[in-house]
Amino acid sequence: MFDWTEEQKQIRSAFRQFVQKEIEPHTRALEDNTMEPYGPMRKLAKMIGLKEMVAGALDKAETEAASGSQGSKSGGFGSQDPYLAAILAIELSRCNPGFTMAFGASVGLCGQTLMRRGTLEQKKKWAGPVLCLDKIGAWAITEPGSGSDAFGMRTKARKVSDDKYVINGSKTFITNAPKADVMVVYAKLDIPGEAEGTRPPQAFVLERGTKGLTTGKPLEKMGMHSSPTGEIFLDDVEVGRDNLLGGKEAEPAHGQVIDVFKGERTGVGHMCLGIIERVLEDALAYSKERKTWGEPIASYQLIQAKLAQMMIAYTNVKNIVLKQCYAEKKQLAVSLAEASAQKLYCTQVTTNVCLEAIQILGGAGYMREYQVERFMRDAKLLQIGGGTDEIQALHVARDLIANGVPT
Ligand SMILES: Cc1cc2nc3c(=O)[nH]c(=O)nc-3n(C[C@H](O)[C@H](O)[C@H](O)COP(=O)(O)OP(=O)(O)OC[C@H]3O[C@@H](n4cnc5c(N)ncnc54)[C@H](O)[C@@H]3O)c2cc1C
């Protein structure tokens, strides 16, 4: 049977204590943007010993590079034990999904991409500081004119010499963009004399302060208020080969991006599980306390049916998360279609569970004080970011049509 081990339960309890002490009390300030998420994130990094873990991964990468092998592909928290990464994301999401998203975009999307795909120098210069949160990272593919069709991007990197590129374009809806120090930015390679669009997109590592790179103010959103989101503008940004992720043009970035999508799609289940767990606990407690006609509302079958549906969603999402952790631990491949199916299911049921939690709390559920409305607003984003529901469904159906039912 899939479940948390006793040791994992103890780790959860330690994380919960940290979150309740260091993050939960700041929820209102984080949501109102009178406080940035990066201070608490750095405390979290210290608590879990990220610096030591990253230093170990970089040492390993250096030794491997010296011996001529490819170098370490991952580093930082949870890279050796997927259960730990899941537990952390669950505990953070029980408290604040927006905070979790800002943390995940920096350490996961940006830091892990740099660690997996960067040269040794890029790992040391950028992956290390981002993975241990000395620097904040962002990962940017979406543009005003291309989201679901991300490879339809217009941002271009014109190659002006063997060692020089000039990047022009813009990115939008980018998590951490307003404050990020390091940004992995995708641009289509444009080589003078060649037809436009014949070269694949490439990833560049850009730093705040580079001439021509600016970022906009945080965008105002429906939810995920604890996670700053914004635009990146690139106006004749000159960079060298050192900024090209992996140090060479050869590999089209499609594979890198698909890897990131898979990680995002399977990882989102952790956030879903944390959110469902929290709102189900809140709704259950409220239903046992709140009385109408002299009886707790939990005694009414219509409320019980809602609680039962929420519990079914919780059980299914927990099973998906534990199975995914097992697959990662055993290094079993998960297809893009499987990852998409997981994301589609988990995110849809999470939004539904949050809506039902609001319903169970009645008027109180609509009030900010009770928090379930915040979880619902945050959960809705999970059906959009990292590929919308519709795009997940397309990927699942395409695989089904091509390969049949996997029995
Ligand atoms: C808060 C937030 C944070 C984000 N963070 C990041 C980030 O860090 N980095 C990053 O690169 N991006 C980020 N994104 C962008 C996100 O990944 C995109 O918003 C998402 O992929 C959808 O793209 P779009 O918004 O352009 O919608 P569109 O692609 O314009 O889609 C609009 C609608 O049309 C539907 N649709 C599109 N094509 C089809 C089709 N073929 N068939 C059926 N329906 C279709 C979509 O499902 C959707 O319902 C973030 C977005 C948000 C809101």
User: What is the distance between the alpha carbons of residues 272 and 231, in angstroms, rounded to a whole number?
Assistant: 26
At 245 the pLDDT is 95
At 253 the pLDDT is 62
Beta partners for residue 291, in sequence order: 296
Average pLDDT over residues 242-259: 80
Here the CATH number for the domain that contains residue 25 is 1.10.540.10
**1 within domain boundaries:** no
Here the CATH number for the domain that contains residue 335 is 1.20.140.10
End-to-end CA distance of the chain: 21
Angle, alpha carbons 103-98-176 (nearest 5°): 55
Q: Contact 261/387 with Cβ under 8 angstroms? A: yes
pLDDT in tens, 153-183: 999 999 999 899 999 999 999 999 999 999 9
- Please tell me which residue, 253 or 43, carries the higher pLDDT value: 43
pLDDT of 310 over the 70 cut: yes
At 180 the pLDDT is 98
Q: Whose CA is nearest to atom 27 of ligand 1?
A: 147
**149 within domain boundaries:** yes
At 80 the pLDDT is 73
H helices present in 67-104, as ranges: 82-95, 97-103
Mutate to test the pocket of ligand 1, among 109, 148, 260, 348 (most ligand atoms within 8 A of CB): 148
User: What is the distance between the alpha carbons of residues 108 and 102, in angstroms, rounded to a whole number?
Assistant: 10
Here the CATH number for the domain that contains residue 213 is 2.40.110.10
Please say which residue of 235, 251, 267 terminates a domain. Answer: 251
Predicted TM-score (pTM) of this structure: 0.95
- pLDDT mean across residues, the chain: 93
Pocket of ligand 1 (CB under 6 A): 105, 139-142, 147-148, 173-175, 221, 224, 229, 381, 384-388, 390-391, 394
The domain of 229 spans 140-251
